Structure 1
């Protein structure tokens, strides 16, 4: 179910979440995925980098897939192109993630359908850092 415009649901998700997997996490500090993940760590979330192309980020293991993340995932934060979002939603459902959050510019009708089938909350085209700052502080 799409919850991008529901501030109450977004606030509840952000305050109840502890573990965030960042799909498409970069090891380059100038990339947005790196910067957003750093912010999420600073505000107290446990962040797992997920990217099959790199082995580590700042000395932390970078996992090749969501299935490899060693603990339950609350939010899957997606830094991939829109055409890959439905597949990420399906992977998130398989690992029983609690929600999928696609960053600015990432939207997909197929992902909405996949999220509805999986009864998985989906946020699209929204920066988790901006929303966190606006709703949580």
Structure 2
């Protein structure tokens, strides 16, 4: 089975989490935390900053590691390294996604998350209840 390794930004502002809705491909209309693949020679943090600049026209600060999720999809295995992030500058312009939302902790279950992102939501919920 093909293995894909990615990074994802859990962008937090005023107690809300930034979620994006896919506008293309096999998982169109599902929600996710934005991010992408690490290019050769990049650290995970550098890749995350680049991906958010490319996808959302925004500069972020990678604040803390949150969780690594492993998830089997029908045609591949995904390893996703997730980081809590803050916006440094930019307006979170959607270049690849069809929709976005700022969701409070009690609203995270109101959207249809991709399977790997469901695990991230569980981790966020667990950490905020501690």
Q: Shorter-chain TM-score category?
A: under 0.3
TM-score (normalised: structure 2):
0.26
More strand by share: 2
TM-score (normalised: structure 1):
0.25
More helix by share: 1
